[in-house]
Amino acid sequence: NAGVTQTPKFRILKIGQSMTLQCTQDMNHNYMYWYRQDPGMGLKLIYYSVGAGITDKGEVPNGYNVSRSTTEDFPLRLELAAPSQTSVYFCASSHHTGNTIYFGEGSWLTVV
């Protein structure tokens, strides 16, 4: 199993550009999450999904959108990139009855 896979690993965006961070998992998990982590800080939840077709806002959703058309995929979209969105983004997934959340390797995004 590949687990949770994120792409791209690194990206530089100009202010105002749009992009999508891709996330896929092959563990048939119901729950998927997007977190961001600023330098030296803990993780903050952006959006999460409890199943295909269902998404909910987390702690810091402004400036982002998500969709969950399949169980496997949970892309995160930035519509108008801003310098404040420079961060490391982590996708994660878990089974709905499980206690363990599995994280991807992270996507480093810089907005200049």
Partner 1 sequence: DAKTTQPPSMDCAEGRAANLPCNHSTISGNEYVYWYRQIHSQGPQYIIHGLKNNETNEMASLIITEDRKSSTLILPHATLRDTAVYYCIVRVGGNAGNMLTFGGGTRLMVKP
Return residues touching partner 1 (CB under 8 A): 4, 31, 33, 35, 41-45, 48, 50, 58-59, 90, 92, 94-106
Beta-carbon contacts of 76 under 8 Å, excluding residues fewer than 6 positions away, are: 20, 21, 23, 34, 46, 47, 64, 65, 66, 89, 91
Q: How far apart are CA 34 and CA 85, in angstroms?
A: 13
Judged by CB, which is closer to partner 1: 73, or 103? 103
Residues paired with residue 39 on neighbouring β-strands, in sequence order:
none
Minimum Å gap between C-beta 5 and partner 1 is 11
Cα–Cα dist 86/52, whole Å:
28
19 versus 101: smaller Cβ distance to partner 1: 101
Q: How far is the CB of 41 from partner 1 (least distance, A)?
A: 7
Cβ at position 95, least distance to partner 1 in Å: 6
